[in-house]
Structure 1
Amino acid sequence: MDFLLFIQAAVMGIVEGITEFLPISSTGHLILASELMNFWTKEKSDVFVVAIQVGAIAAVIYEYWGKLWGAATGLVTGEKKGRHLGISLILASIPIMLVGLTFGQTVKGLLFNDISVAIGLIVGGLIIWWVEKNPRQIHAEEVDNITIKEAIYIGLIQVLALIPGTSRSGATIIGAMMLGVSRKAATEFSFFLGIPVIVGAGLLDLYQSYHVFTTEQDWMVLAFGTLVSFVSALVLIRVLVAYVAKRDFMVFAWYRIVSGLIILLFALTGWKLW
C-alpha cells in the first residue's frame, strides 16, 4: 500500500475543504496542489479533483440539514419560506447544469492548466475589489429574502465557475452582493446552490471516468480524500459564516490577485517552485 499517496490525498482533501466555499477557486488550488505534489497520474488526479468536492458539499448538508429539509418538504407541503427557497435553488441550478453537461468535458480538457487558473484568479480578484469598493444597498438580509428573479441571475453568474480559477463560491457570492444581498445571505445561498451542482458534477465525472481507478487502493484513496474534505469543509463553513458577519472580502481579492500574478509569472517563464 502506498502511504505517501494517502498523505497526498489528505492534503488534497484539506485544500478542497478549505477552498471550496472561499471566493478563491477550489479547483484552481487543487490543480496547483496536484501538480506541486506530482499527485497520481493526470487522468486519475483530474477525476479525484472533481469527485472529492462531494465531501465538501456533504458538510453543507450536515450543517444546514434543517433549512434544506424545509426547502425540500416545502415544495410538497407548500410552506411559504421552504417552498420559496426550494424553487429558488432549483431555478438557479439549471443554467450551470445545462452548460456543464454540454461543454463541461471540453472546458476541462482546454482550461485545466496553470495559465487559465492564474487569469481566473486575477480577474476574479479585481471584480471582488471593485464590488467591495462600490457596495450596493442591501435589501436581502437573509437567504429567504432573495427573490426568484435574483436567484436566476445568481444561477446565470454561476456558469462562470466552469472556468478554473474563477471560483463557484466567488462568482455566486459576489454576484449576489452586486444584486443587494447581504454577505451572510449571499454566502449561505452559495453553500446551498453548490449542492446539486457539485454532487451532480462529481457523480457524473466519476461515472464517466470510473475506469481510471483500476485497483482497490485507488478507490480507498478517493474515499479517504473525500472524508478529509468533509471534515475540513465543516470547520471552514462555521469559521466563514462568523467571518462574513463582521468583515469584508478584500483579503480574498488581494490573495487572488497576488497568487494569480505569481502563478502566471512562473507559468510563463518556466521557473519551478519546487
Structure 2
Amino acid sequence: MTVIQAIILAIIEGLTEYLPISSTAHMGFTAALLGMEETEYLKMFQVSIQFGAILSIVALYWKKFFDFSNFKFYFKLALAVIPALALGYLFDDKIEAVLGNQIAISSVLILGGIVLLFVDRWFKNPKIHDEKEISNKKAIIIGFWQCLAMMPGTSRSAASIIGGMTQGLSRKAAAEFSFFLAVPTMLAVTVYSIFLKTWGADSATPQKGYEMILSSTENIQIFIIGNVIAFIVALIAVKTFINVLTKYGFKFWGWYRIIIGILLLIYFLYQ
C-alpha cells in the first residue's frame, strides 16, 4: 500500500463512517478500483483507521464524553454496545469472508437505499429529542439494530439511526446517539483488530495487527497518516451530515446508495 492509496482510503473512511452509506462498502470498492491487492494488512488498515474517526466524535462532543458526573450516559452506551460486541465476536470470521464479495455488498447497498427512501414516512412523529430521554431499554434495542451492520454494505450509522427512530427518537437525536454509540463500538473493534485478532491465521505468517504496523517504518507512517486524515475529514462530514439530515431527511442518501450500488454492481459483474 502506498501513502497516496492510504490517504484516499482514509478520506473515504472519514467521509462515510458516520453517513448512512456504509464506509466498509466504500473502502472496499475504492480499494478494488485502485487495483489494490486484498492483503491482510489492507483489511486491518481499513478497520484500524476507524480510530481517527472515533476521535472526531470525541472532539466534537467532548463535553458529553468528559462529563464524568453523567453516569447514566456511560451506562446507556455500555448497554447498547453489548449486542454488537457479543455477536461481532461470534461471527467475526463470517463477516470477514463477505468483505471481499463486492457483488453481495453492492446488492446490500441498493437494498439499504430503498429502505432509506421510506424511513421519513414511517417515523413522522418523534417523541424523543435529546439523549437524556432515552431509556435503558431503548438503548439496548438500538444496540441490537446496530448489529444489522455486521453485513458489509448495510451501514452501522444507518442501522443504528433507524433503530433509534423506531424507538421514537427524532432524526437529529437518533443520529447523535448513533455517533455516541459508535465510539465504544468502533473502539472495541479497533483494539481487537490491532491487539487481539490474528490476521492470516491460516497462512504461513500469521500476525497481530500491531505486528504488521510495526514491521516497517512505511507501515507506521501509513497508519498514522491514515488516522489523522480520517479524523480531519470525519469532523467535517459529521457537521455537514447533521445539517443535511435535519433539513432534508434520508431520501438523498437513499438515492445515492441506489445509484452507486447499481453502478458498482454492473462494474463488478462485467469487469
Shorter-chain TM-score above 0.5: yes
2:188 aligns with: 200
1:79 aligns with: none
1:33 aligns with: 30
Q: 1:86 offset after TM fit, Å?
A: 1.8
Is the CA contact 2:98–2:152 (under 8 Å) kept in the aligned structure 1? Answer: no
Matched, 1:156 2:144: yes
Give the secondary-structure state (helix, strand or coil) at the position aligned to 1:96.
helix
Is the CA contact 1:5–1:39 (under 8 Å) kept in the aligned structure 2? Answer: no
Matched, 1:63 2:60: yes
CA distance in 1, matches of 2:243, 2:124: 21
Give the secondary-structure state (helix, strand or coil) at the position aligned to 2:231.
helix
C-alpha distance after superposition, 1:4-33 (max 9, x if no partner): 811111111111001000000001101111
C-alpha distance after superposition, 1:187-207 (max 9, x if no partner): 110101001111111121122
2:258 aligns with: 257
Alpha-carbon RMSD across the aligned residues, in angstroms, is 1.6
Q: 1:246 offset after TM fit, Å?
A: 1.7
1:121 aligns with: 109
1:32-111 alignment runs, 5 A limit = 32-39=29-36, 41-70=38-67, 73-74=68-69, 82-111=70-99
1:226 aligns with: 227
CA distance in 2, matches of 1:45, 1:215: 15
Is the CA contact 1:96–1:197 (under 8 Å) kept in the aligned structure 2? Answer: yes
Deviates more, 1:39-48 or 1:121-130: 39-48
Is the CA contact 2:113–2:255 (under 8 Å) kept in the aligned structure 1? Answer: yes
Is the CA contact 2:105–2:152 (under 8 Å) kept in the aligned structure 1? Answer: yes
CA distance in 2, matches of 1:139, 1:155: 19
Matched, 1:5 2:6: no
Is the CA contact 2:52–2:227 (under 8 Å) kept in the aligned structure 1? Answer: yes
CA distance in 2, matches of 1:247, 1:194: 23
Deviates more, 1:235-244 or 1:21-30: 235-244
CA distance in 1, matches of 2:136, 2:230: 31
Give the secondary-structure state (helix, strand or coil) at the position aligned to 1:246.
helix
CA distance in 2, matches of 1:143, 1:117: 32
Matched, 1:186 2:174: yes
Q: 1:40 offset after TM fit, Å?
A: 5.5
Q: 1:227 offset after TM fit, Å?
A: 0.7
Q: 1:178 offset after TM fit, Å?
A: 2.3
TM-score by length of 1: 0.89
Structure 1 residues without counterparts, runs of 5 or longer? 75-81
CA distance in 2, matches of 1:88, 1:196: 11
Give the fraction of aligned pairs with identical amino acids, expressed as a percent. Answer: 34
Q: 1:144 offset after TM fit, Å?
A: 1.6
C-alpha distance after superposition, 1:34-71 (max 9, x if no partner): 1111236522111111000110011001111111122x
CA distance in 1, matches of 2:244, 2:38: 37
Give the secondary-structure state (helix, strand or coil) at the position aligned to 2:127.
coil
Give the number of the structure whose residues are more often helix, by fraction.
1
Is the CA contact 1:118–1:165 (under 8 Å) kept in the aligned structure 2? Answer: yes
Give the secondary-structure state (helix, strand or coil) at the position aligned to 1:245.
helix
C-alpha distance after superposition, 1:106-145 (max 9, x if no partner): 2112343212211221121122112122224211011221
CA distance in 2, matches of 1:201, 1:152: 19
Matched, 1:215 2:216: yes
**C-alpha spacing 1:136/1:87, structure 2 compared with 1 (3 Å):** farther
CA distance in 2, matches of 1:122, 1:151: 28
Q: 1:155 offset after TM fit, Å?
A: 0.1
Give the secondary-structure state (helix, strand or coil) at the position aligned to 1:262.
helix
Is the CA contact 1:140–1:185 (under 8 Å) kept in the aligned structure 2? Answer: yes
CA distance in 2, matches of 1:147, 1:38: 47
